[in-house]
């Protein structure tokens, strides 16, 4: 069985490529006509020749099958070919520009356009065999979208399923971490987009906890201090102040970047993971922390309540829009979100220091959560079944 895919990026490596034993995976990116259309529009927009954003072409596939693949497996992408295909998606499929529309009350509005209708027709077609949501939250968002197209709703809904990403275990129990809870407690943050993932709130909160509450804390940070700014905005002064705090504070262990192997070692040597994020379609680092035996302090946006909860970790309840998206549209929204996250961090950390035994308890429960819900063997078997059914039920 030969499976075609479009990218060697992180989502494909995490959820698609080389997952099913015996399948041969082939990158068919150069066969995709929309790659070239995207490139043309990208540079035309960059030089202000057009206003249209090329994102729609980025998530479309059409082209010859020079590699002789049996089926395609894409991420966030709709195929317009005659070959069987499946697609895993993180928010909505198709991932078109007109779908990301917020209403004034914080809801989500989906306009019915010809562009969308063509994509929905392709998803409803016999060639599309399955659309795989990363979470139940994503699945519910998709169900709302397909209700706009009653002529396709039944067929698309039959193809829609949830399959959480796989995660291999790094350790089997808290005891394997080789750390105690009788001295300094190590909290860890990992994330390139420091600002959106809640990094500024972490620094402000932990500075108070260390300097005013005198708690024995070591904060480990692995981040290039990215500031994409689509959810949480930061000024140059804020970023410069954060960089100074990271580099000059004795209670912080800061790395701009590390090989993945070294990041995992740091996770295993830490007590608690941090992901107080403003926006996240899934939250892969929460899975990695849990597989290293770290209970996680996270917000409750999007898929995070499906990964994390107060039994295995600590959940910060923040203001949300439809389907769990964080509410950060206005300046007052953002101020309230920041304060809510900081208060939630303080509450969780003080709770931990009030009863340090819960670290080991929640560590072992986090590991059990990975085994139960993210086992790589179970995930591979589910994908293999999807592939086999796609090829068996060819029309």
DSSP 14-31: HHTTT-STT-EEEE-GGG
Q: Terminus-to-terminus CA distance in the chain, angstroms? A: 18
Integer-rounded Cα Rg, in Å, for the chain is: 22
For residue 326, the SS3 value is: strand
Check residue 225 and give left, alpha or beta (phi > 0: left; psi -120 to 50: alpha).
left
Shared-domain flag, residues 183 and 331: yes
* 280 and 296 Cβ atoms separated by less than 8 Å: no
Shared-domain flag, residues 178 and 318: yes
Domain containing residue 80: 2-166+375-392
Shared-domain flag, residues 153 and 265: no
Shared-domain flag, residues 356 and 214: yes
Shared-domain flag, residues 330 and 366: yes
Sheet arrangement for strand 71-75:
24-27, 2-5, 71-75, 85-89, 128-133, 160-162
How far apart, in whole angstroms, are the C-alpha atoms of residue 197 and residue 199?
6
Dihedral angle of Cα 372, 261, 12, 159, to the nearest 10 degrees: 0
Shared-domain flag, residues 53 and 128: yes
Q: pLDDT tens digits, the chain, 395 residues: what are they?
A: 999 999 999 999 999 999 999 999 999 998 988 787 767 777 777 777 766 665 666 789 998 888 899 999 999 999 999 999 999 999 999 988 767 655 445 555 677 778 889 999 999 999 999 999 999 999 999 999 999 899 999 999 999 999 999 999 999 999 999 999 999 999 999 999 999 999 999 999 999 999 999 999 999 999 998 766 667 778 889 899 999 999 999 999 999 999 999 999 999 999 999 999 999 999 999 999 999 999 999 999 999 999 999 999 999 999 998 789 999 988 999 999 999 999 999 999 999 999 999 999 999 999 999 999 999 999 999 999 999 999 997 65
In the chain, the number of structural domains is 2
Shared-domain flag, residues 53 and 101: yes
Shared-domain flag, residues 275 and 326: yes
Which CATH number does the domain housing residue 299 bear? 3.40.50.2000
How far apart, in whole angstroms, are the C-alpha atoms of residue 73 and residue 86?
5
Shared-domain flag, residues 244 and 366: yes
Shared-domain flag, residues 159 and 223: no
Q: What is the pTM of this model?
A: 0.92
Sign, CA dihedral 297-212-245-331, equals: positive
- Other Cβ atoms within 10 Å of 195 Cβ, number: 24
Shared-domain flag, residues 387 and 368: no
* 316 and 291 Cβ atoms separated by less than 8 Å: no
345: enclosing H helix or E strand? helix 331-354
With CA atoms as reference, report the closest residue to 216 among 353, 313, 26, 373: 353
């Amino acid at each position: 069985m030969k499976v075609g895919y479009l990218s060697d990026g992180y989502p494909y490596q995490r959820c698609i490529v080389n997952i099913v034993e015996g399948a041969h995976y082939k990158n068919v990116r150069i066969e995709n006509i929309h790659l070239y259309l995207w490139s043309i529009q990208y540079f035309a927009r960059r030089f202000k020749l057009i206003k249209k954003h090329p994102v729609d072409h980025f998530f479309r596939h059409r082209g010859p099958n020079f590699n002789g693949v049996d089926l395609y497996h894409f991420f966030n992408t709709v195929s317009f070919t005659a070959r069987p295909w499946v697609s895993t998606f993180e928010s909505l499929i198709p991932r078109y520009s007109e779908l990301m529309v917020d209403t004034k009350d914080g809801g989500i509005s989906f306009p019915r356009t010809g562009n969308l209708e063509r994509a929905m027709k392709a998803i409803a077609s016999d060639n599309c065999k399955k659309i795989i949501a990363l979470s139940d939250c994503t699945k519910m968002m998709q169900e709302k979208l397909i209700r706009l197209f009653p002529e396709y709703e039944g067929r698309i809904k039959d193809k829609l399923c949830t399959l959480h990403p796989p995660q291999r275990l790094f350790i089997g129990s808290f005891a394997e971490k080789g750390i105690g809870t009788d001295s300094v407690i190590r909290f860890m943050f990992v994330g390139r987009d420091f600002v959106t993932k809640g990094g500024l709130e972490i620094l402000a909160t932990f500075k108070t906890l260390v300097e005013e509450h005198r708690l024995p804390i070591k904060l480990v940070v692995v981040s290039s201090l990215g500031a994409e700014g689509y959810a949480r905005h930061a000024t140059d002064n804020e970023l410069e102040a954060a960089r100074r705090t990271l580099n000059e504070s004795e209670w912080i262990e800061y790395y701009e970047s590390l090989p993945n192997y070294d990041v995992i070692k740091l996770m295993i040597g830490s007590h608690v993971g941090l992901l107080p994020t403003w926006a996240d379609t899934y939250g892969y680092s929460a899975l990695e922390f849990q597989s290293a035996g770290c209970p996680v302090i996270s917000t409750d946006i999007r898929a995070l309540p499906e990964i994390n909860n107060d039994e295995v970790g600590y959940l910060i309840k923040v203001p949300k829009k439809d389907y769990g998206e964080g509410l950060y549209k206005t300046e007052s929204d953002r101020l309230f979100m920041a304060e809510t996250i900081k208060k939630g961090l303080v509450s969780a950390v003080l709770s931990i220091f009030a009863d340090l035994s819960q670290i080991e308890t929640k560590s072992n429960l986090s590991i059990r959560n990975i085994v139960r819900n993210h086992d790589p063997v179970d995930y591979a078997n589910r994908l293999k079944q999807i592939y086999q059914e796609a090829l068996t039920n060819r029309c």
